[in-house]
Structure 1
């Protein structure tokens, strides 16, 4: 059987009607990688690779959405994907896929050049960052999520031991909705200064002595970590809503300790 090859004659199956009368809240593509440009606080830019999830709302009367259009939108914005253009891409998605609501998530590694506390040697440390945007009923909602690795030292271990105390690497994840631009570096610094100690890509011996002793002088339970960070976020005028999580990968147990606080105007 010969099928037509002229695009105008090929049936658009996705655009045919569906009789089950069920809206689909999210339909789209997941885990597509794409180059992105992200501005940093110093005025420079970082070229990185983001993992995208892109969804639209599908009304009950349509059989399917046009998946290829998501990819087209990314490729058309290859030189423009950044924090500032995120809302533009969401609006393009609404228009091109003829939907009333859409969601886009992009997750990427972000690097900050850090100076060691004593030697001053510079090294890069990577952080996992997500920009999460949605448009619902014409309203744009922008969320930033940052995962920051830090050191935590156990107050109980320090208190009951004649010498030493167990510590662990912790992952602190902060998700914020803001009312104006908040740099990734700003969020990272708010988190790191509340840890027992921050991490560095490269440390010399004097630096290692410093961070070890700093952690010992600044013990934090997982509960302390989220409370102290939540206090910082509550007092920041640019933040409307937030979620702060901490997972401590325990060094003397085969399980993690975890805590979460939600805060902001909607709490």
Structure 2
């Protein structure tokens, strides 16, 4: 009677067959994989959260398929690692070797939490932010991307100028993407803080009445159009990030007096 390993060796590996259509595939792999991830915050505190993973490689024209299970094997291998950009780089190298490919992409999106103190009462509460880490390798060139989505308050300058009292304000999402062809030495918290500083006002999960007064008046004294949000943030990025290769700043105001959003985006490539 044959052993289990001998039986496995006789099972055909269809993925390794030659494909006669001669059409290469740019990306093939796994998408929407929910899997744990462990990250460090700026103060070296561990955050255990859950990421949505996408992992792909390029497939040559003569190869029928890739080995899908190997992507999950790689996730298992790294599940106990603290995932920073260096770990993502190592993971990406492992993936290319494991799948015998020159090109590959790894993307992990996850909620990231910050403990914030309310501006007057100092009541602590957790705020969640959507974060995405991307790493791409294309013919021996690798780039790293960090994306943060930051909810803020924006107050309309026009509404303030034309109204005898009050002004309409709304919650807004500002999305900042920073890309570099080298490992970025920046913390997620620093990107979030950078975005919040350029809004009419930042947000907190818990506000007491003195805090609410502060937030309302702070935003009133700091009105910004959606255009102002992206321009002010882009100006700051140009000032403090000389080593990045490109960035994207996107703002969406969920208008409180319209049945639509106001939207603006700035994209810039930087020649280093």
Give TM-score, length-normalised by structure 1. Answer: 0.96
Separation (CA, whole Å) in 2 of partners of 1:225 and 1:213? 18
Query: What is the DSSP-based 3-state SS (H/G/I as helix, E as strand, rest coil) of the residue aligned with 1:185?
Result: helix
Unmatched tracts of structure 1, length 5 or more: none
Separation (CA, whole Å) in 2 of partners of 1:231 and 1:191? 12
Unmatched tracts of structure 2, length 5 or more: none
**Root-mean-square deviation over aligned CA pairs:** 1.4
Query: What is the DSSP-based 3-state SS (H/G/I as helix, E as strand, rest coil) of the residue aligned with 1:148?
Result: strand
- The equivalent of 2:206 in structure 1 is 202
Asked if structure 1 preserves the Cα contact closer than 8 Å seen for 2:244 and 2:270, the reply is no
2:70 is the alignment partner of 1:73:
no
Report how far residue 241 of structure 1 moved: 1.6
Asked if structure 2 preserves the Cα contact closer than 8 Å seen for 1:30 and 1:54, the reply is yes
Instruction: Select 2:122's aligned residue among 116, 120, 132.
Output: 120
Q: How many residues align?
A: 264
Separation (CA, whole Å) in 1 of partners of 2:234 and 2:122? 30
2:65 is the alignment partner of 1:61:
no
Separation (CA, whole Å) in 1 of partners of 2:201 and 2:244? 24
Separation (CA, whole Å) in 1 of partners of 2:33 and 2:217? 43
- The equivalent of 2:255 in structure 1 is 250
2:241 is the alignment partner of 1:240:
no
Asked if structure 2 preserves the Cα contact closer than 8 Å seen for 1:104 and 1:134, the reply is yes
Report how far residue 266 of structure 1 moved: 4.8
Asked if structure 1 preserves the Cα contact closer than 8 Å seen for 2:133 and 2:146, the reply is yes
Separation (CA, whole Å) in 2 of partners of 1:170 and 1:266? 31
Asked if structure 2 preserves the Cα contact closer than 8 Å seen for 1:244 and 1:260, the reply is yes
Report how far residue 264 of structure 1 moved: 4.1
1:91-106 matched pairs, under 5 angstroms: 91-106=93-108
1:110-189 matched pairs, under 5 angstroms: 110-178=112-180, 179=182, 180-189=184-193
Separation (CA, whole Å) in 2 of partners of 1:229 and 1:177? 15
- The equivalent of 1:107 in structure 2 is 109
- The equivalent of 2:45 in structure 1 is 44
Separation (CA, whole Å) in 2 of partners of 1:254 and 1:266? 40
- The equivalent of 2:22 in structure 1 is 21
Give TM-score, length-normalised by structure 2. Answer: 0.94
Question: Following TM superposition, where does structure 1 have runs of at least 4 consecutive aligned residues deviating by more than 4 angstroms?
Answer: none
Instruction: Select 2:216's aligned residue among 203, 206, 212.
Output: 212
Report how far residue 263 of structure 1 moved: 2.1
